[in-house]
Structure formats: C-alpha cells, structure tokens
Amino acid sequence: MIKLPIILMELENGSQSPATLYKKLNKKFSSVAEFSNTLDCLYALGTIKLLDEGVIQYVNKT
C-alpha cells in the first residue's frame, strides 16, 4: 500500500501507458510483479482506469 502514491503522483501529470509508467518508476519497485500488483490494487480501488487507447488514467473523485 505504501507504493500507491508513487504511481498516482506520476499519473497526476497525465495518462501514460503501463510500459512508459514502469520505465519512469522501475527504480522505486523491487520487481515488475510489485509494480503490477500495485496497479491491480489501484484499479480495484477505482483510483485508476485503463482507457481504450491503452493508457492508464488517474480517476479524480473530487
């Protein structure tokens, strides 16, 4: 759970593909599995969504 804000802060700058996002943030995660699990958690919480264009978008609920 401590890694959730890392991804969210990056997505506040705009939607990105999962690959681009990982390239920018890979040093902050111990493995691609940890990164993927963090994305899964954010998706399950409804905080991010995957658009038809293949990019991840931050869902601002305010």
pLDDT at 11: 98
Q: What is the DSSP letter of 50?
A: E
**Which regions of the chain does DSSP assign to beta strands (E)?**
48-50, 56-58
- Per domain, the residue ranges of the chain are 4-58
Three-state SS string over 28-57 comes to: HCCCHHHHHHHHHHHHHCCCEEECCCCCEE
pLDDT at 60: 81
pLDDT at 46: 96
pLDDT at residue 62 is higher than 80: no
Residue 42 near residue 31, CB atoms below 8 Å: no
Check the CA dihedral 52-47-35-25 and report its sign.
positive
Q: What is the pLDDT of residues 3-43, one digit of tens each?
A: 999 999 999 999 999 999 999 999 999 999 999 999 999 99
pTM of the model as a whole? 0.91
